[in-house]
Amino acid sequence: MVDILHRVGVIASPDAVYTALTTIDGLSGWWTEKTTSAGDDVIRFRFDRPQGEDGFDMKVLKTVPGELVHWEVVAGPEEWIGTHVRFQLKQEDDYTIVLFSQEGWKEPVEFMYHCSTKWGTFLMSLKELVETGAGKPAPDDVQISNWH
Amino acid sequence: MVDILHRVGVIASPDAVYTALTTIDGLSGWWTEKTTSAGDDVIRFRFDRPQGEDGFDMKVLKTVPGELVHWEVVAGPEEWIGTHVRFQLKQEDDYTIVLFSQEGWKEPVEFMYHCSTKWGTFLMSLKELVETGAGKPAPDDVQISNWH
């Protein structure tokens, strides 16, 4: 079992970051514009690819205002299903620190290398959204390679 | 033991990316301007911090032109010493794919979360350098948090 880890600091309150992680409006402002509620505490994230639409469904397992957002991947690429995504928040000086993890990858496959870098750029998009009002969600996300 | 993994694609030849990973001029164009040779196959990377200069010394263990660069960290923060850094290169369409790893972290400490995100932004700087001629090396690197 291997994990993806990241740490970014957002110059904003924990509540502002928490809102960007727990509302459709917030999530669609930094990850993908195609974010919808699928009921039953499931959030649906979709991406337009050359080969058609794909994406992830996240079951919200736990939220603690200003402190924690915890999802489980319930639909998406096989390698993602059953992994857990956590955003832990804490305040340090003027920053809200986001400790991010996607835990439970079975193998460090090449797709995991890709997702690690993509999560990094999306977390920078989260930082930008909360700090400036505009992030870089898909389809206008930062392209890092031939896999987009 | 836990690892940092990343994947980026550079629109350039494997040789161009390899040069950016194996020459002082290349390395100082994407990671830190304070890059020097310390003899004996050791490369010295330094960063100016508010508390003074710090950084890493890398022993070059293996290089295969256009394919692989493999370092061992021989000086630097305690958590880094003994870890191995690998850049594996391969060509796909118009891209040179860089599979990056920093292997052998003893524990997933908060500093590892930070370094994972920083490596991601530095690899994007590598991509930018090779594609456009200008990267974002320290001290002008992308700030991701209060830890810079």
Q: Tell me if B140 is assigned to some domain.
A: no
Distance, in angstroms, between B68 CA and closest chain A CA?
16
Q: Does residue A146 sit within a domain?
A: no
CB contact under 8 A, B121 and A116: no
Domain that holds residue B118: 2-132
Mean pLDDT per 10-residue segment, chain A (148 residues)? 93 98 98 95 94 94 98 97 98 97 96 98 98 97 95
Who's near B135: CB < 8 A, 6+ residues apart? Answer: B29, B30, B125, B126, B128, B129
Mutate to test the interface with B, among A2, A4, A5, A92 (most CBs of B within 10 A): A5
Q: Is residue B18 part of a domain?
A: yes
Tell me how close the Cα of A35 comes to any Cα of chain B, in angstroms. Answer: 24
Task: Check whether B148 has a pLDDT greater than 70.
Answer: yes
Q: Is B140 helix (H, G, I), strand (E, B) or coil?
A: coil
Write the CATH number for A113.
3.30.530.20
Confidence band, pLDDT 50/70/90 cuts, at residue B49: confident
pLDDT of residue A2: 86
Which residue from B minimizes the CA distance to A116?
A: B6
Residue B145 belongs to a domain: no
Token pair for residue B119? 């490596």
Q: Percent of chain B beyond pLDDT 90?
A: 94
CB pairs under 8 A between A and B: 99
User: What's the farthest any 2 CA atoms get from each other in chain B?
Assistant: 45
Does some domain include residue B143? no
- What is the pLDDT at residue B59? 98
* B146 found inside a domain: no
Residues from chain A contacting residue B100 (CB–CB below 8 Å): 113
Helix (H/G/I), strand (E/B), else coil: A4: strand
> Quick check: is B84 in a domain?
yes
A49/chain B closest Cα distance in angstroms: 17
**Is residue A139 reached through a cis peptide bond, with omega within 30 degrees of 0 on the bond before it?**
yes
- Enumerate chain A positions whose Cβ falls within 8 A of a Cβ in B: 2-9, 92-95, 97, 99-101, 108, 110, 112-114, 116-117, 120-121, 123-124, 127, 142, 144-147
Say what the ipTM of the complex is.
0.96
Domain count, chain B: 1
In a domain, A9, yes or no: yes
pLDDT in tens, B127-138: 999 999 999 999
